[in-house]
Chain A
Amino acid sequence: NAGVMQNPRHLVRRRGQEARLRCSPMKGHSHVYWYRQLPEEGLKFMVYLQKENIIDESGMPKERFSAEFPKEGPSILRIQQVVRGDSAAYFCASSPGREQPQHFGDGTRLSIL
């Protein structure tokens, strides 16, 4: 039973480009969460999605960031016009239900040149 799969593992972008991070949840999990870990900081919640719906996006920056979890395919975290401060590790987690244990992927390390 495959775990949460994130790709790419490492992503390098130049300032102003777009970054697209993908997350395939564990089989049978319909709840997806994105967290960000800035250097020397703890993980911070960004957004919680259930198939085709955004449940809570209170941790998402107001501009340039968006997330989706379509009916078919992986969840996507999209960052437009990236800036140096977006450099971080982005983790995706999934769970079978709202209050069930969250299982994490290995993350995408985003570096902005």
Chain B
Amino acid sequence: KQEVTQIPAALSVPEGENLVLNCSFTDSAIYNLQWFRQDPGKGLTSLLLIQSSQREQTSGRLNASLDKSSGRSTLYIAASQPGDSATYLCAPLEDGANSKLTFGKGITLSVRP
């Protein structure tokens, strides 16, 4: 059974800092891994998707890396802004017949102006 861990649960940083958010998962038999952002009272916004054959993906100030064999992914946020304040979730997709995403509890990020 896949388990996803994201530590720490919360993070507060001043504006402009570069950040690394960590995600670890127990079952390396994954097809891909998605990083999402969730704002309070809202749904999830997909940020990046990394295929299991890829090492990293980039979108603007965001860069996600994947080390499938060690069960780790990181989300790098460059030059953080107050608008980046949200909860960040990683979710690996099981490899196989099902399309089940397994979520961690997320990291709640607060970027102080």
Contact = CB atoms under 8 A, between A and B. Distances in A.
Contact of A48 (B45, B49, B91, B98): B98
B34 A102 contact: yes
Contact of A56 (B49, B91, B100): B100
Interface stretch (A14-22, A70-78, A104-112): A104-112
Nearest to B95: A99
Interface of B: 4, 31-32, 34, 36, 41-46, 49, 89, 91, 93, 97-106
Contact of B44 (A31, A45, A104): A104
A42 B89 contact: yes
Interface string A23-61: 000000001010100000111110010000001101100
A42 B103 contact: yes
Interface string A92-105: 01010011011111
